[in-house]
Amino acid sequence: MLTANHLSHTYGSGAGAHAALADIDFTVEQGELVSIVGPSGCGKTTLLRTLSGLMRPTGGSVTFHGDEIVEVPTGLAMVFQDYSRSLYPWLTVEDNVRFPLRRLHLPKEELRSRIDEALAAVGLTGHAAKYPGQLSGGMQQRVAIARALAYRPEILLMDEPFASIDAQTREDLEDLVLEVKQRFSMTIIFVTHDIDESVYLADRVVVLSKPPTRVVTILDVPLPGERDQISTKELPEFIRLRGEVARLIRHPRDAQEPVAAAAG
Amino acid sequence: MSTVSGRTDSKAALPGAATRRSGPMLRWLGTRGPREFVLRWVVLFALFIGWELAAKAAESPYFPPPSEFAARAAELWLPADGTWLTEATANDVLPSLARMFGGLALGSLVAVVLGVAIGLSRRLGDYVDPLIQFSRAIPPPALIPIFLVLFDRGALMRVLLIAFGAMWPVLLNTIEGVRSVDVIKYETASIFRIGFADKLVRIVLPGAAQKVFAGLRTSLALGLILMVISEMVASTGGIGFHIVQAQRSFQILDMWAGILLLGVLGYLLNLVLTVVERRVLAWHRTTNREIA
């Protein structure tokens, strides 16, 4: 569905050039949740900006349904890390959710039902008339998720969406993501620095290296579809995977050889 | 642009600026309750009483007691004898206000349009910044002779003078307001494929609105000043003309009444702007409360 082909990006040129992305290859299939995890400063912002079409990469390409992305395609939405920067504080919760739908020219009833459904899905029914500034951080990020849901994207990119949210709220929101994925059979790319989160949510985990960033490896997550914050994280398979991801992030060189061989 | 923040800070010195914080509007003349009301107004009343006593003791023909020129002002401009509009109001106050609002509206509109364009385009900003810094440094009254030559002595000349002189605070604040809008807000809109017009109306303008109002507040004060000054030169009507004319014909009471009227008008206009700002920026008060 969405493929990165030898994606690379270098900022600037000459001596001051900074190679953020060296060579990124992966494919996300329909209905999959792929998490992307890597050490801090691993160029994940650059990666998301090129994947979404906000920015053209300096090398390689991103294709969506086989077509190269040159601008933000229809059917793609993104939830940004910093909800306070991405929500519009002068619009009510409902109007924030409605904002992206303006250009779709939906019939009135459908507009209404999409907004209501999206707010209900994130548990914000009854908060529609409030302004984002009246909500807690966790609730604001729910608004951002509802906004993306009402847009009904085929693929949803999430940029460390829960990085600045307290641990318990974070677990609730992780389960919300899984629920939404099931219910709307949505394809999701979830970027995070949290290793537990990357394994808990994903069907596959893409592990990135330090810049110039490459894909260290891609791990399958053979955990059961129904996940639970407590019991899933107690499974030996979960513990094995999180250990493996952690080792790959800390010592990518040990793992790089076999991956390079497999790719070649 | 450090000059901009300097301008916006000056709003604190204007009368009524503190009412921005108050609760139910106008119930206690813009204060929170009886206690604050007393604290706020007691100094002013005391001053007037002191002035009254001093003026009565001095018996100077040039410094009549406030009670006398206040009574004269009421006689001139307050509705009486079943008519809402006294002759003096029709001749002086209304034309003055019309010119001032005309000038402010024109100046603010031009300033917001230019400010948005300059705020959005760094390059345009770099080109016009020296021009703006130079133009706004010219004291607008100095332009009266040129404006008289260009536009003659009619209302147009005064409106344009007010527009030109009062537009700078709005312009500079709009530029800064537009530049302060977070880039993520534009990127969010780009992700959802929002068009340029929608970005302009729903992101740029609301994002800059708070700064624009700060500019308007300063511009309003400037507009009032320029209105009076423009009417003191080559004029046949308006509050400024009334004051000069009264002074020249030794109608000292009328002169003081005119000055009082300007003070009251300035205060009321600022109050009206405050109310409008609170309505337009209602969302902003919710955002200031940090609960995240």
CATH number, domain of B280, equals 1.10.3720.10
Which residues of A sit within 8 Å Cβ distance of B?
A: 52, 54, 72, 74, 76-78, 80, 82, 84-86, 88-91, 99-100, 102-103, 130-137, 140, 151
Q: Inter-chain contact A100–B194, Cβ cutoff 8 Å? A: yes
Q: Inter-chain contact B206–A88, Cβ cutoff 8 Å? A: yes
Do residues B140 and B230 share a domain?
A: yes
Question: DSSP code of B28?
Answer: B
Average pLDDT over residues B79-88: 78
Note the pLDDT of residue B7. Answer: 39
Whether B182 maps to a domain, the answer reads yes
Whether B248 maps to a domain, the answer reads yes
Question: DSSP code of A69?
Answer: P
* Tokens (6 digits) for A37: 């995890």
Of B20, B41, B74, which residue constitutes the final position of a domain? Answer: B74
Contacts of A77 in chain B (CB under 8 A): 191-192
Do residues B96 and B193 share a domain?
A: yes
Give the nearest chain A residue to B187 (CA atoms).
A54
User: Measured between alpha carbons, how far is B133 from B126 in angstroms, rounded to an integer?
Assistant: 12
Do residues B174 and B286 share a domain?
A: yes
Count of structural domains, chain B: 2
pLDDT at residue B30 above 80? no
Non-local (6+) Cβ contacts of B42 within 8 A are: none
Question: DSSP code of B202?
Answer: I
Contacts of B189 in chain A (CB under 8 A): 99
Q: Which of A88, A93, A119 is closest to B189 using CA atoms?
A: A88
Q: What CA dihedral angle connects A200, A202, A206 and A209, to 10 degrees?
A: -30
Q: Inter-chain contact A90–B206, Cβ cutoff 8 Å? A: yes
Q: What CA dihedral angle connects B195, B200, B204 and B208, to 10 degrees?
A: -170
Q: Inter-chain contact B184–A82, Cβ cutoff 8 Å? A: yes
Do residues B144 and B216 share a domain?
A: yes
Average pLDDT over residues B178-184: 94
Among B195, B206, B289, beta carbon nearest to A103:
B195
Cβ pair A164, A86 in contact under 8 A: no
Mutate one of B180, B286, B288, B289 to test the A interface: name it (highest A CB count within 10 A).
Answer: B286
pLDDT at residue B20 above 70? no
Among B193, B288, B292, beta carbon nearest to A74:
B193
Mutate one of A46, A72, A90, A154 to test the B interface: name it (highest B CB count within 10 A).
Answer: A90
User: Measured between alpha carbons, how far is A10 from B33 in angstroms, rounded to an integer?
Assistant: 61
Give the nearest chain A residue to B279 (CA atoms).
A90
What distance in Å separates residue B258's CA from the closest CA in chain A? Answer: 42
Whether B100 maps to a domain, the answer reads yes
Whether B110 maps to a domain, the answer reads yes
* Residue B113: C-alpha distances to residues A114, A158, B167, B196, B280 (Å): 36, 36, 11, 15, 19
Question: What DSSP string describes B66-128?
Answer: HHHHHHHHHHHHS-BTTBSS-HHIIIIIHHHHHHHHHHHHHHHHHHHHHHHHHHH-HHHHHHH
Average pLDDT over residues B76-97: 83
What backbone torsions phi and psi does residue B23 show, to the nearest 5 degrees? -85, -115
Do residues B60 and B198 share a domain?
A: no
- End-to-end CA separation in angstroms for chain A: 23
Whether B80 maps to a domain, the answer reads no
Non-local (6+) Cβ contacts of A115 within 8 A are: A94, A97, A98, A101, A128, A150
pLDDT, tens digit, 9 for 90 and up, residues B105-148: 999 999 999 999 999 999 999 999 999 999 989 999 999 999 99
User: Measured between alpha carbons, how far is B20 from B43 in angstroms, rounded to an integer?
Assistant: 20
Cβ pair A63, A8 in contact under 8 A: no
Task: Indicate the pTM of the whole model.
Answer: 0.81
Do residues B68 and B94 share a domain?
A: no
Whether B79 maps to a domain, the answer reads no
Q: Inter-chain contact A132–B287, Cβ cutoff 8 Å? A: yes
Q: What is the ipTM of this complex?
A: 0.87
H/E stretch holding B33 reads none
Give the burial string for A128-145 (b: 16+ CB within 10 Å, else e). Answer: bebbbbbbebbbbbbbbb
User: Measured between alpha carbons, how far is B172 from B177 in angstroms, rounded to an integer?
Assistant: 9
Q: Inter-chain contact B193–A99, Cβ cutoff 8 Å? A: no
Q: What domains can be seen in chain A, in order of their start residue?
A: 1-69+189-254 (3.40.50.300)
Do residues B170 and B195 share a domain?
A: yes
Do residues B44 and B142 share a domain?
A: no
Point out which residues pair with A26 in neighbouring strands.
A4
CB count within 10 Å of CB B284 equals 18
Note the pLDDT of residue B290. Answer: 43
Helices (H), A99-222: 108-121, 137-150, 167-183, 195-201
Range of the domain at B129: 86-291
User: Measured between alpha carbons, how far is A26 from A24 in angstroms, rounded to an integer?
Assistant: 7
Q: Inter-chain contact A54–B184, Cβ cutoff 8 Å? A: no
Question: DSSP code of A73?
Answer: P
Do residues B135 and B216 share a domain?
A: yes
User: Measured between alpha carbons, how far is B91 from B246 in angstroms, rounded to an integer?
Assistant: 14
pLDDT at residue B162 above 60? yes
CB count within 10 Å of CB B210 equals 19
**pLDDT confidence band for A55 (50 / 70 / 90):** very high
Whether B102 maps to a domain, the answer reads yes
* Tokens (6 digits) for A56: 């053209």
Note the pLDDT of residue A263. Answer: 42
pLDDT at residue B32 above 70? no
What distance in Å separates residue B188's CA from the closest CA in chain A? Answer: 6
* Tokens (6 digits) for B116: 């948005």
Do residues B217 and B131 share a domain?
A: yes
Q: Let me know the angle formed at the C-alpha of B247 by B246 and B249, rounded to the nearest 5 degrees.
A: 65
Of B47, B74, B101, which residue constitutes the final position of a domain? Answer: B74
Q: Which of A2, A61, A54 is closest to A27 using CA atoms?
A: A2
Do residues B90 and B68 share a domain?
A: no
SS3 at position B29:
coil
Contacts of A79 in chain B (CB under 8 A): none
Q: Is the four-CA dihedral A34, A86, A38, A243 of positive or negative sign?
A: negative
Size of interface A-B (CB pairs under 8 A): 76
Whether B3 maps to a domain, the answer reads no
Do residues B269 and B139 share a domain?
A: yes
pLDDT, tens digit, 9 for 90 and up, residues B208-259: 999 999 999 999 999 999 999 999 988 888 899 999 999 999 999 999 999 9
